[in-house]
Every structure is written in structure tokens, then in C-alpha cells.
Amino acid sequence: MFDAQTASPIFEPLTLPNGAVLPNRLAKAAMEENMADGQQLPGEALRRLYAAWSKGGVGLIISGNVMIDPTALTGPGGVVLDASQPLAPFKAWASAARSGGGHAWLQLSHPGRQVMKAMGQGAVAPSAIGVQIEGASHLFPTPRALEPAEIAAIIERFATAAGLAEQAGFTGVEIHAAHGYLISQFLSPLSNRRTDDWGGSLENRARLLLEVVKAVRARVSPGFCVGVKLNSADFQKGGFALEDAAQVVRWLNDLPVDLVELSGGSYESPAMTGAPQDGAINPREAYFIDFAREIAEVATMSIMVTGGVRRRDIAEQALQPKDGRPGVAVVGVAAALAFDPDLPIKWRDGQKLEVAIPPVTWKKKAFASLASMAVVKVQLNRISEGRRPKQRVSPLFALIGSQLATARLTRRYKAWIARREP
């Protein structure tokens, strides 16, 4: 029960299209934790971290990237879920993530070309076009264009992982089709130059996403939630644009999709950290909300927006109509929950209305983005160890520490992949 002072649309329940009910409108949005154990499984660190978020009061937890292919990881500490992995660690993870009474979904992802060369596995993509980042392109392998049979195998991997997620006790999955990962690469004309049924027109470029959604939905029960994370735009000239996103959502309307999360950007233009290369938007709180309102006008499923939210009044504004356009249904909070995992309870009780997150203002946006993520990872590690977040962290030291940890985890990953049977 809330009194008049603390009553807020944030804490109203939400019924999704499949009948599942979120206890409130706040979601822990995905962050890249890189905390898998030596078998690329969720261990004690992730269980403690997710239990802290669940007990902190969010209605929905969306995991960081869970990789569907052991040879294609966004980072060496990534969790892998495929038919060869034991399910017991995932059951324990799901139990921890649901311990506070909310929903817990796994974000299923394939990185495509956005893998580090040091991982030693090469890369695949819709077309043989490498990642272009000033001063860092050499860190990524030139990808090989996927064959149609390989595309079919990837679709099956998404479906298999979703079925395993339901068996483990998660309440849904989110298919990652944003941030320049594989499905996003198919959607973008900058990275998809194919001339077959998987490229060319927007309908063909969206085919992979739509087929993945169909395969996943066919593999899980009707009460299991299926969401999609979609770029509102690539924030690169000639890339996937807002009108493209609106059309993709219209196609998704015809499928049993429960929620679409709007984000934006890629490794090349990291708008998801508030820093697109082309300057199309300024780093600010809730920086995708205007795009999300436009998408909400054409969507029949629930719309979620993520992007820098750290104040209760901003979250409330996102949920409410404005200028004749609808509000969103769910607000995703990411970095703020790394700095304060109890934030939802504090918002509910009126104790704390804002989280101060020092910005990283380096001139090279790609490196500033990496440093911002490294600072967040410092906080995630502290929470996973049962400690409170540290409010002041040096971005430089955090980035150096993150790079050293990545090197160590890369060695461990390569040893693990070498031990696996072909």
C-alpha cells in the first residue's frame, strides 16, 4: 500500500499480452557482467548479484548477454546456454533472480562480428564487413558471411536456449536484436549487403529476427514471456533508422511478442551509453524516450525504454502520455542499479529520488563508453561480493582493471573451448 506522497505509476502492475503480470513498471535492464565461472556458467557471483536486484524491488530482471553459441561470445566471461551445458546452475540463478517476487528473463544473444580477435574464434556476420572504430578496428576480426544453412542453425540455437531457459525456471527471454549484435547487423543496411532472401529490402533484413521470434515462441509455453530488444536507430548515416524500427514493430505485432525494449547504437556508435558518434542526441537521462513514444503509437505489445534513467520523476514521465503520444509501459534502469541495487524500494518509500553517476567525458567516445562500462563493472563485482557499491571510481583505473581481467578471462575461455568436444 502506498500513501498519496509515494503513490506512483511506477508501482502499478502490468499485464503483458500473454497474461503474465509484472508487479511494477521498473525493469533491471541488461548490463554486461562478464561474471561466468570457468565453465561459462552462472555461479555464486551472479546468484548473489541477481538476488540483490530482485530483493531491491524491480518488477522485471533482464539478464546480461546469455550466449547461444559457445564459439561466439561478446566477452570471455559470458554465460553460455546451449544443449551441452548443465541446467542446474541456471535453475539456481533463476531462483536467485526471482527471490524478490518479480519476473526474471534471460537475454539471448549472438554477437556476430562484434567479438574480440583475441578470443580466437573468428567471427560471422550477414556480410564480410568488419567493425569500424577509430583506433580499435584491429581488435576485431574480419567476419565471414553466413551461409543460409548456418543462419538456420542459429535460429535453432535461439529456440533451444529459450526452451532451456523455461526449464530452468526463468519466466521469459529477450531476443537481443540491438546494439550491433548479429540480428541488429542483419537489420542494418550498413552491415548487411546480402543479395539473397536475408538482405536487400527491410523485409528481407528483418527476416532473421522474425524467424527467431517464431522459432522461440514455438518452443516455449504460452505463459512464458518473449521480448525483443530493438534499436530505435543505429545513429549512423545510412543505417537502421526510426522509420525502419516502426515497420519492424508492425511486423512483430503479428507475432506473439509480449514486450519490445527500445534502445539504440552499436560498438561503432555507442548511443546506448549516451554517446553516439554523429551527435544525433545529447547524453541525457532517458535519451531514447522520444523514439519510444513514436514506436508506442504503432505497437500492440508493451514497450519498454532504457537509457540513463536514474531519477524517479524521469521514470514517471516516461510512463505518462505527452504531446498526444502514449507513454511507455516499462522503464528499464541499468547503471543506476549498479550504484544502488535497492533503488526501487527507496523510490517506493520516497527515501532516494536520484542516483549520481559521474559521467566519463573523454573525447574518444568509444573509449569513454568502455570506461563507463568498466566503472559499472566495478560496482557489479562489489555487489556480487556482498559489498556496497563505491560511489567514486577512477574511470582510468577501472578501464585498466577491466582490460587486465578481460585478458585473464580470455585465457581461461580459450582453455575451456579447447577442452570441449567438437
Dihedral over Cα of 71, 73, 78, 81: its sign: negative
Which is more confident, 207 or 290?
207
Question: What value does the mean pLDDT take over residues 287-313?
Answer: 90
Which is more confident, 357 or 63?
63
Query: pLDDT (tens digit, 9 = 90+) per residue, 13-33?
Result: 999 999 999 999 999 999 999
Query: pLDDT (tens digit, 9 = 90+) per residue, 28-55?
Result: 999 999 999 999 999 999 999 999 999 9
Question: What value does the mean pLDDT take over residues 313-317?
Answer: 92
**Is the pTM of the predicted complex or chain greater than 0.95?**
no
**b/e per residue, 317-336, with b = 16+ CB within 10 A?**
bbbeeeeeebbbbbbbbbbb
Q: What are phi and psi of 241, to 5 degrees?
A: -120, 175
Query: pLDDT (tens digit, 9 = 90+) per residue, 196-235?
Result: 999 999 999 999 999 999 999 999 999 999 999 998 876 7
How many alpha carbons fall within 13 Å on the CB side of residue 147? 3
Question: CA-CA distance, 201 to 148, in Å (whole number)?
Answer: 17
CATH class of 9-419: alpha beta
Query: pLDDT (tens digit, 9 = 90+) per residue, 100-139?
Result: 999 999 999 999 999 999 999 999 999 999 988 777 788 8
Q: CA torsion angle for 165, 378, 99, 84 (degrees, to 10)?
A: 20
Burial of 290 (0-12, 13-18, 19+ CB in 10 A): middle
Which is more confident, 37 or 269?
37
148-168 and 207-219 helices cross at what angle (nearest 10)? 40
Task: Report whether pLDDT(253) > 50.
Answer: yes
Contact 93, 119 (CB under 8 A): no
Question: What value does the mean pLDDT take over residues 176-184?
Answer: 94
Question: CA-CA distance, 361 to 2, in Å (whole number)?
Answer: 39
Q: What are phi and psi of 63, to 5 degrees?
A: -70, 165
Q: What is the mean pLDDT of the chain?
A: 91
Beta-bridge partners for 225 = 172
Question: CA-CA distance, 341 to 339, in Å (whole number)?
Answer: 7
Question: CA-CA distance, 264 to 234, in Å (whole number)?
Answer: 6
The answer for residues whose C-beta is within 8 angstroms of residue 273's C-beta and 6 or more apart is 265, 283, 368, 369, 372, 373
Question: CA-CA distance, 138 to 413, in Å (whole number)?
Answer: 21
Contact 311, 20 (CB under 8 A): no
Burial of 162 (0-12, 13-18, 19+ CB in 10 A): buried
Contact 250, 219 (CB under 8 A): no
